[in-house]
Structure 1
Amino acid sequence: MRRCERVGAWRRWRGSDQGFVTAESAVVLPVLVAFAMALVWGLLVMAAQLQCVDAARTGARAAARQDPPDAVVALAREAAPGGARVTVSREGDQVRVVVVAKPAVLRGLPFEVREEAVAVAEDAGEGP
């Protein structure tokens, strides 16, 4: 008799938590989705940052070779993410290229990635 009572109690106890798995899934699943989306957004921001680094370096190299400013900006924009702003300035014998872009996924947010590169200008008139 006691064994039957234990089996019956086990069945009652086991049957009482059937809805807990559904409730826990309903709470945990949106958190996991939000975490996965945050990871993807972070990767896209890092990709945009790397594109800005490449674009600034490419522009700085071109500016150091004394390429025309319009050509430097066009060359940097090719390597930069879409819609990036490129500025070129010269301070003494150094050229500075700054690339600022908004990551594609975060266009609605006030968030930008920025990178700058500095190079020493190669003066064509000087020689040995």
Structure 2
Amino acid sequence: MIHSAAVPVREAAAQRGSVTAELAVTLPAVILLLALLLLGGSAGVLQLRLEESARAAARAMARGETTAASAGIATSIAGAGAAVSIGADGGIARVTVEARMSGALAALVPWPLAATATARLESDGAEAAHARAKAGRPNPLGRYSATAVAAAGIAP
């Protein structure tokens, strides 16, 4: 009887430390997976910021804001490292905002993220901006546009 009872004790002694070894093998894989998930989340947040900044700048262009003011709106939302490209052709404003990932794992995403938005220019954009400036009302962004201030003859 003593011999049969000793067998489970030997098996338990042989398995001692196996959990530590399994943890040592799987922990780097779990950490790598977590880092990749965080990188993907960061890329998603940056893409959302780029899309929102492109939409806001396109809306500003549609309302009659200057290109410089629209670019300022885009960089204030997307961040200082963003590159903004603005153009208007055939009554349509097109804004493209590009940026690269930043952070410790940014080298894993070597390509720039970009977003483009378009908006139809208002036909009375300049007249509406002039009327707002003349009436002393700021534009919908809460500040006077440079073109409206110059058109109304208001000193800055």
TM score, norm. by length of structure 2: 0.74
Larger CA deviation: 49-58 vs 19-28: 19-28
Q: State the Cα RMSD in Å.
A: 1.8
1:58-110 CA-to-partner distances (Å, cap 9, x unmatched) read 00000111211111100111011340001101121100000101122254442
Over the matched positions of the two proteins, sequence identity in percent amounts to: 31
| Partner residue in 2 for 1:113 | 113
Which of 27, 35, 38 in structure 1 is aligned with 2:36? 38
1:48/1:81 contact within 8 Å kept: no
List gaps (5 residues or longer) in structure 1. Answer: none
Tell me which moved more, 116-125 or 34-43. 116-125
Q: CA deviation at 1:123?
A: 2.0
Quick check: 1:54 aligned with 2:62?
A: no
Aligned length: 125
Gaps of 5+ in 2: 128-156
**1:61-80 alignment, distance < 5 Å:** 61-80=59-78
Q: In structure 1, what is the Cα distance between the partners aligned to 2:80 and 2:115?
A: 15
* Residues 99 and 54 (structure 1), Cα distance of their counterparts in 2 relative to 1, 3 Å cut: same
